[in-house]
Amino acid sequence: MKDQKDTPMHARSLPDHIADLETLEDLLSRPDAATEADLAALDGEIMVLGVSGKVGPSLAHMAARAAPNKRVVGVARFSDPDARAQLDEWGVETI
């Protein structure tokens, strides 16, 4: 049986109900096998500009999950200190 992780997001079965923000973030930041392979093939580090915006946190979180051996750096003005703390907790270095 094929692992759901190897199935593109649009083809995965999604839950009927998302109970909380933690579950939503897990879904949004879960990398598939293709993303993991693409990020692993990159030379150097990964930088996400505007990381404290709408999409930035989940994108940086996904990069950190997909490429755990790479440095992921998030850059923003960080008007919300909680957003920065959350990124740091996920292993994203913040500037």
Phi, then psi, of 30 in degrees rounded to 5: -80, 110
Cβ-based neighbour number of residue 65 at 10 Å = 18
pTM listed for this prediction: 0.82
Tens digits of residue pLDDT in 65-77: 999 999 999 999 9
In a domain, 3, yes or no: no
Domain assignment of residue 88, given as a range: 44-95
SS3 20: coil
Longest CA pairwise span in the chain (Å): 45
Domains contained in the chain, number = 1
In a domain, 80, yes or no: yes
pLDDT of residue 15: 85
In a domain, 4, yes or no: no
Where the chain has pLDDT below 70, the residues are 1-12
In a domain, 72, yes or no: yes
Rg from Cα positions in the chain? 14
In a domain, 36, yes or no: no
In a domain, 84, yes or no: yes
In a domain, 54, yes or no: yes
In a domain, 13, yes or no: no
